[in-house]
Amino acid sequence: MTTPSETGRVMTVTGPIDPHALGHAVTSVHLVSGLNGPTKSDATEATDDARVTMGVLGALALGAPNRDDRRLSEEIVRPELADFAALGGGAVVDVTGVDLGRRPRALARLAQATGVAVVMGCGGYSPARTPELAGRPVESITAELVGDLHEGADGGVRAGVIGEIGPLDLDRPADRALATSVADAARRTGAPVLVRRAATAAVTHQLLDLIAARGADLGRIAVGHCDGLATDAGALARLADRGVFLQFDGLGRLPTVYREVDDQDVAAAVLDLAGRGHAARVLLSPRVSRKIDLKAFGGGGYGFVAEQFVPYLRYLGADEALLNALTTANPRRWLTMTEGRG
């Protein structure tokens, strides 16, 4: 269970803090990572090992595979995170899984160097990337998650979020076991959870049913990758009606012919949700997982929401109360540890 000293606090890589100290927060980014595991493109075509340079940015934005693009180092990210702080940013949630090169001590150094509160995810499992999950008992996976939250990793750096958990298919035993473990760990610790939206609406709702049936609080769950539903107001409203947070975490990437929705669609969806009474259920985050997402390589950076998306929402008519909810109050409420239920 979450100890009394943690309840009502946000667990960061440098220790628990008062939720009101967070300020503007973005809830799903990568800081230090090595996204070098097999990808869909690796399996079907040659992957470029060359370093990312100006001349290949256009190709990379269109999806050209490149391993260097998927490597983010402490040195490259430090000035980008400092830029986020200069824009008024106060906190980020790093969702890099162990299988993708999570480095807890590096996250702590970045937080200390920039003054930005960093909340570290744990688990970060995607069954497609983590075949060793198959056959592991539920209690074993649960204990690993709880250990990261209570004791920490790499010398005691503690996680403050469970996830990001990749899209699950509950018809697969390993996926169902993982979903059960996530729910049990959330119930025991009072930690927030980030799960990626499943392939279909029905499976997403089945996942939420399972989590609730295990006694976890759906109000602590954020469903990520909701950008893909931006033009389906009914689907978004049905999710919000479950009491979960809806996370739009693809913001800031250049629109291409391969993207079905863009940031304007997301802005319209956010305003529609607010109009339906769901303003308190929305989380916003830029998609920063590759070099080309950083400002130094032509991207929007960690500060995209503050620098570009918030002004656009204001232009569309969003008032300051709504903007504060989206950027500060909602992530603060989601990230605050609640008392575990054992």
Class of 16-335 in CATH: alpha beta
pLDDT tens figures, 106-142: 999 999 999 999 999 998 776 666 666 767 899 999 9
Q: How confident is the model at residue 215 (pLDDT cuts 50, 70, 90)?
A: very high
Residue 285: phi and psi, rounded to 5, are -155, 145
Max distance between CA atoms of the chain, in angstroms, equals: 54
User: Contact 141/174 with Cβ under 8 angstroms?
Assistant: no
Euclidean distance between CA atoms 59 and 64, whole angstroms = 5
How many Cα atoms sit within 13 Å of 336 on the Cβ side?
18
**DSSP letter string over 40-95?**
HHHHHS--B-SPP-GGGHHHHHTT--BTGGGEE-HHHHHHHHHHHHHTTEEEEEE-
pLDDT tens figures, 265-289: 999 999 999 999 999 999 999 999 9
Q: Give the pLDDT of residue 97.
A: 86
Q: Which of 68-72, 255-259, 262-266, 302-306 has the lowest mean pLDDT?
A: 255-259
Q: Between 233-240 and 263-275, two packed helices, what is the crossing angle to 10 degrees?
A: 50
Q: Give the pLDDT of residue 54.
A: 81
Which of the pair, 67 or 121, is modelled with greater confidence? Answer: 121
Q: Give the pLDDT of residue 44.
A: 38
Assess whether pLDDT exceeds 90 at residue 104.
yes
* Residue 282 CB neighbour total at 10 angstroms: 25
pLDDT tens figures, 141-168: 999 999 999 999 998 999 999 999 999 9
Euclidean distance between CA atoms 13 and 20, whole angstroms = 17
Q: Give the pLDDT of residue 4.
A: 66
Q: Give the pLDDT of residue 81.
A: 98
Mean pLDDT of the chain: 91
Q: Give the pLDDT of residue 46.
A: 44
Report DSSP state, residue 186. H
Q: Between 138-150 and 173-189, two packed helices, what is the crossing angle to 10 degrees?
A: 40
**Taking the model in full, what pTM does it have?**
0.93
Assess whether pLDDT exceeds 60 at residue 40.
no
pLDDT tens figures, 161-205: 999 999 999 999 989 999 999 999 999 999 999 999 999 999 999
Q: Give the pLDDT of residue 82.
A: 98
Three-state SS across 15-28?
EEECHHHCCEEEEE
Which of the pair, 33 or 245, is modelled with greater confidence? Answer: 245
Q: Give the pLDDT of residue 114.
A: 98
Q: What's the order of all strands across the beta sheet hosting 117-122?
A: 24-29, 89-94, 117-122, 161-165, 193-196, 221-224, 245-251, 282-286
Assess whether pLDDT exceeds 80 at residue 27.
yes
Assess whether pLDDT exceeds 80 at residue 36.
no
Q: How confident is the model at residue 37 (pLDDT cuts 50, 70, 90)?
A: very low
Which of the pair, 42 or 117, is modelled with greater confidence? Answer: 117
Residue boundaries of the structural domains of the chain: 16-335
Assess whether pLDDT exceeds 60 at residue 42.
no
